[in-house]
Structure 1
Amino acid sequence: MPVRDAMSYNFLIYCFGSNGFYGEVLNVVCSMLDLGLFPNFGSILYAIMACGEMRSLESGILIHNYLIQNGFGLNVRIANSLISMYTKLGRLDLGYQVFNDMPERDVVSWNSMITGFAQNGKGDEAFDLYLSMKNVEDLVPSRVTFLGLLLACGQVQNLNMGKIVHGHLIHPGLMSDFRLGTSVLDMYLKCGEVECARIIFEEELLEKNLVSWNSLLAGYSQNGCDWEAVFLFQRLLSESNLKPDSITIANVVPACARLANLQMIRLIHTLIIKKGLQLVSDIVLGTSMVDAYGKCFDIKASTFLFTCSRKQNAAIWNAMISGYNLNHSAYQGIELFTEMLRYEVLPDTITMVMLLQSCGELGSLKQGSIIHGYCFSKGFNWHLTVSNAMMDMYIKCGCIRSSLILFNSMCYKNIVTWNTLLCGYVRIGRSAMAIDLFNQLQWETQHRPDPVTMITVTQASSTGSANHGVANSLIDAYAKNGLIHSAWSLFEQMGKSKDNSSWNVMLAGLGMNGYGRKACALLSQMEEDGYEPNSITFVSLLSSCSHSGLIDEGCYYFNLMVTKYNIQPCLEHWTCVIDMFGRAGRLEEAYHMIQNGLPQGGDPGNLSNCAAVWGALLSACRMHVNVELGELASQQLSRLSPDNCGYYTLLSNLYSSGRRWNEAANMRRVFEDGKLMKKPGFSTVNV
């Protein structure tokens, strides 16, 4: 163009901005200003948006100053854009300053600030701003307002406020908006209310898109509901017309990995290949699969994927080193670290912790000292997690003195630091030093002893039978809270002081956390150590097989219990077996088993007159949405246990899942009419 005027530049800015070429927008605006040409209103809005999208604070401040000098600053739309830009850049102070200077605000102004506070983890400020919006100005909250509030509730885990927002959405019918519905679902999951989120998904989301499925899948995975995550993924494939994306797969893979479900991981790998997803270029998905194969003890597959991947960040290297540690190949993990440095990938604190664990597993003081020196030279020793891992490494390498020197030199300690040294003293038989350190912990610090502290001190002071109960209770508590690695650590620390209850509690804990195969292996170890399994042992083991989907193994151990140990099955054993078949979706087999028992043997007695086994079947029907069989189970339950409202609740939820809304409504009317009342919960623990 021989002549370029302001209109030409503005049109060019419009073309770039409307197509998302934000870097070009800033270049053209700068050229315009250098030539003394004035951008129009639309160009200014695109320029502000470009600064936020390009994360350019310097350019944003320059444009803001230009607007003030030229009298644009008081315009509501421009001010709203500036607020949005500053919040995206993490400068809430500057955004709030623009907000406060506005002589007139609209609902977009308030929404921009509420959303900005929520996105930056300042949920309380977002709530305060919302209350000010209602009290100061006569503005009606929009969908964006509620989206920001729900995000804030999830960020700070404010469940009460989240329920209030949810209530505001139900009355005007806003839950029909799939974005709001999915945000409510996500809020409940971030607050740890998994069952509430499931109900929202099943009953209140009229329209489910892939984001909704992914949100619930991620929530299940992050809250330790691994089997639920796997079942939901299977439902997505079979029931919906939606196609899983890389986010879907990245969410279900960790759940499968924690369950050590190698078959499912291989199926997902096949799906990835069929969909054309690139494990080589998708670093998140590639890292998840490398980690999963390692946790499923297929180190060859893990190594192959790692070799093929683009090793661009530390996460995938950490996953591979962790895999080597889990598969008893710690030395290869250390060798991998030297290769990581050759690739010029910067290690992080997780890398250092993994390497120190490798050295501890090998008992290699030489390698551990080298890693210690590297940590010191790179400044990693200032990270508390690294220092704690370093102490643990020295203890495992038999160098308690180095661990003590490191302990005394640390500027900051947490309870893990103290526990590490305590465990070290107990490991080498220095009980008196452990007791002295415990007294020092109580007198000199503000750290409160945790269960690990107490069990370690208990071991140091005595190994009497009274301590079995303490240790066993702690193992059980850790397992029930999903801290299976802590439970296993305590179990191993008990050494020869274990009793039969210790093994039974550990077996049950492994099962409820999805480590069924490890529970099966533990039975063999129990026998090798001279302990004879009893009736409770097999209840724990069958429950483990049930939670992990190990049907064949469960039938084998049931038969072993009867034939080898002459233990006659009781109600708990049969309930575990029914639950095992039910969880696996083999509902017809479970139904026939109630009538006839297992073909392998064991007199079932009169199972058909037992409410517990029918309850287990009804729960499985609810999980797999088998309405017909669920009705049969509920008929038996109404005969055997007519006053148990829990079974009616299960049946109501089953009808809802099967989209039989009239039957579900009829079941709820039973409660509303007062015919059934839920009994209040109580604890059976004697204090």
Structure 2
Amino acid sequence: MSQLVQIHAQMIRNHLSQDPFGVSKLIEFCALSEYGNLHYAHRLFDQIPEPNTFTWNTIIRGYASSSFPRQSLHLFIQMLKSSTYPNLYTFPFVIKACTHLVAFEEGRQVHGMVLKKGADNDVFLINGLIHLYASCGKIDAARKLFDCSCKRDLVSWNSILCGYTNCGLMEQAKTLFEEMMERDVVSWNVMINGYAKLGDIEKARELFNMMPTRNVESWNIMISAYAKCGLLESSKKLFDEMPERNVVSWSGIITAYAQEGQPTKALVVFDEMRRAQMKPNCRTIVSVLSSCAQLGALDQGKGIHIYVNQSKIKVDSIIGTALIDMYAKCGCVKNAVRIFDKLESRDVFAWTAMIGGLALNGHGKKALELFGEMEGAGVKPNAVTFVGVLCACSHCGLVEMAWHYFNTMKTVYGISPQIEHYGCMVDVLGRAGRLEEAMSFLKSSPAKVDAILWGTILGACWIHRDVKLGENVGDLLFRLEPNDSGIHVLLSNIYARVGRWDDARKVRLLMESKSLRKNPACSAIEVHGLLVMPEYTAQHLSPYSGKQSLILMPKGIPNS
């Protein structure tokens, strides 16, 4: 772009800025190249008094393939109002924009224009329309268009096949797949992905094994399918067997580990990815930051942040939210606030991460002030936002304000309270010593009360030395979770806190009779830039212990 701007400056100095051919080439680079700038292309386009059809098509195509497809439709409407009429190359780009927007009605209108233009036999246009209708869930309309088409190619078959699988109609998809005279790797991938989405891993693997040829996407689909079913070992085994990998392959397995609560393994695979000289994408960065947040690995998180800056990766709301979450969970609130303040646009997730981060680190009042700013900015909170708000109220002991926000969820924002919100309210009331009110609240709640909520009450009984209520809740929990060692320990501690040592000893003996042991706690720390944590795997056994080992992971990014 820097070189193109210089060329544009030379064109202006030499009075060539109105040359249709030269300007159209400038716009083409800016709108279509991965190194271009769509905003710059639009500014150039606006300076042309009478753009020709090629220039209109270029700018429409650029927006259709971007994150702003609606702008493509706006430009198409402007084109219709101008003296330039669209040609056969215009419609595919407009149809693509409609597909991205899932804009069924607009797509039908474009279809009508195609019919008036007499281009209903153009196989490229028909394929685009089939894909549009299928993406909008109008599979019957897509099938009707497919059946009426006198010209079908492999793309036509794959488009309708993809429509069936996206709608979960695997029986119809299977029938169509068997009717296909010709299949390519895309056809097989569509079917495998369809079964994978429904969680039918056996049929997906059966088709995968039958494939005459596979590409990287075939392997990626199966890796993702195993991961979604929680079969991470099978997913990693397949990953290790891949003949070649791309960034999607690496990101898929890293994300799977991060989302399944195995952040250490996610960071190990990320380290392998870097050694393989594979450049991470946005999804990889977010998953690795999430893993650092789970482990509290601040130095590694900072290393990822340095890599993002040095690689000139734009810190948008997605990466920004991940950075805020990482810094907040690692206790570095100032850095989290700094990232939040620098964000050009803040969506509900960025606001939620910052509010939750402040609440987590004991800055309850600041969290509530930020929530007020969020409402003032016109950003609608979601259910997770209110979890952070209620946690902030809990840490500050603001019981009445917590009730206000709990009621506001439903009355103002139409968000039905979930089990997490009930847990927050129980925690608020329990910390404030209003245990009877907490009990009444739980009994009257429409949500199914689980052992975790009753355990919160039991914890509050320990804080406020309420033995009678603690015994009642303890008996209830023994029926719900008879083999939970934590319940036994907590009830024993309640007795011990008020000096009832015989009762405390009885609970401990009850634990021994059930062969229950309290799960030992473990921590991850960073020593000289290395993440040190216990790991129960044979492959990393320490010579100092037969059970636990230390995994040492380098901080930061190599060559950064």
Alignment TM-score, normalising by the size of structure 2? 0.71
**1:353 aligned partner:** 387
The 1:138/1:146 distance shift into structure 2, 3 A limit, reads closer
Residue 77 of structure 1: how far off its partner (Å): 4.2
- Do residues 267 (structure 1) and 333 (structure 2) align? no
Equivalent residues of 2:56, 2:79 under 8 A apart: no
**2:158 aligned partner:** 111
* Equivalent position amino acid for 1:133 in 2: L
Residue number among 475, 481, 484 corresponding to 1:471 in the alignment = 484
Residue 267 of structure 1: how far off its partner (Å): 1.9
Q: Which structure has more RCO (C-alpha within 8 Å, separation ≥ 6)?
A: 2
Residue number among 302, 323, 341 corresponding to 1:289 in the alignment = 323
**1:319 aligned partner:** 353
Structure with greater helix share of residues = 1
**CA distance, structure 2, for counterparts of residue 585 and residue 384 of structure 1:** 38
**CA distance, structure 2, for counterparts of residue 179 and residue 408 of structure 1:** 51
Q: Deviations over 1:124-147 (max 9, x none)?
A: x1x323321244x24232222222
* Equivalent position amino acid for 1:263 in 2: D
1:198 alignment partner, SS class = helix
Equivalent residues of 2:442, 2:449 under 8 A apart: no
The 1:184/1:493 distance shift into structure 2, 3 A limit, reads farther
Residue number among 169, 175, 186 corresponding to 2:224 in the alignment = 186
**2:252 aligned partner:** 215
Residue number among 416, 420, 435 corresponding to 2:453 in the alignment = 420
* Equivalent position amino acid for 2:223 in 1: L
The 1:305/1:431 distance shift into structure 2, 3 A limit, reads same
Equivalent residues of 1:356, 1:390 under 8 A apart: yes
1:146 alignment partner, SS class = helix
Is the deviation greater in 152-161 or in 491-500? Answer: 491-500
**CA distance, structure 1, for counterparts of residue 488 and residue 524 of structure 2:** 19
**1:584 aligned partner:** 552
Residue number among 252, 256, 260 corresponding to 2:288 in the alignment = 252
- Do residues 132 (structure 1) and 167 (structure 2) align? no
**CA distance, structure 2, for counterparts of residue 345 and residue 82 of structure 1:** 35
**CA distance, structure 2, for counterparts of residue 430 and residue 15 of structure 1:** 76
Residue 421 of structure 1: how far off its partner (Å): 6.1
Equivalent residues of 1:83, 1:112 under 8 A apart: yes
* Equivalent position amino acid for 1:147 in 2: N
Equivalent residues of 2:53, 2:86 under 8 A apart: yes
**CA distance, structure 2, for counterparts of residue 503 and residue 544 of structure 1:** 25
The 1:244/1:291 distance shift into structure 2, 3 A limit, reads same
The 1:311/1:385 distance shift into structure 2, 3 A limit, reads farther
Residue 296 of structure 1: how far off its partner (Å): 1.7
Equivalent residues of 1:107, 1:139 under 8 A apart: no
**CA distance, structure 1, for counterparts of residue 74 and residue 344 of structure 2:** 33
**CA distance, structure 2, for counterparts of residue 255 and residue 286 of structure 1:** 15
**1:145 aligned partner:** 187
Residue 396 of structure 1: how far off its partner (Å): 3.9
Give the unaligned 5+ runs of structure 2. Answer: 1-17, 19-50, 495-503, 527-531, 555-560
Residue 409 of structure 1: how far off its partner (Å): 6.2
Equivalent residues of 2:355, 2:389 under 8 A apart: yes
- Do residues 157 (structure 1) and 194 (structure 2) align? no
* Equivalent position amino acid for 1:152 in 2: G
Q: Deviations over 1:399-445 (max 9, x none)?
A: 456556655765x43344x863685489455659968xxxxxxxxxx
**2:313 aligned partner:** 277
**2:432 aligned partner:** 397
Q: How does 1:667-678 map to 2 (within 5 A)?
A: none
Give the unaligned 5+ runs of structure 1. Answer: 2-7, 436-454, 462-466, 476-488, 519-542, 556-570, 587-687
**CA distance, structure 2, for counterparts of residue 311 and residue 18 of structure 1:** 25
The alignment covers a number of residue pairs equal to 473
The 1:101/1:156 distance shift into structure 2, 3 A limit, reads same
Equivalent residues of 1:422, 1:456 under 8 A apart: no
**1:198 aligned partner:** 236
2:545 alignment partner, SS class = helix
**CA distance, structure 2, for counterparts of residue 143 and residue 388 of structure 1:** 49
1:584 alignment partner, SS class = strand
Residue 494 of structure 1: how far off its partner (Å): 6.5
1:470 alignment partner, SS class = coil
Alignment TM-score, normalising by the size of structure 1? 0.59
**CA distance, structure 1, for counterparts of residue 144 and residue 384 of structure 2:** 39
Identity %: 20
Equivalent residues of 2:386, 2:421 under 8 A apart: no
Equivalent residues of 1:516, 1:547 under 8 A apart: no
Equivalent residues of 1:353, 1:385 under 8 A apart: no
**CA distance, structure 2, for counterparts of residue 430 and residue 73 of structure 1:** 79
**CA distance, structure 2, for counterparts of residue 379 and residue 290 of structure 1:** 25
Residue number among 522, 534, 537 corresponding to 1:545 in the alignment = 534
**CA distance, structure 2, for counterparts of residue 27 and residue 323 of structure 1:** 40
Q: Deviations over 1:8-34 (max 9, x none)?
A: 976555544554556686567657777
- Do residues 65 (structure 1) and 78 (structure 2) align? no
Quote the RMSD (CA, aligned, Å): 4.2
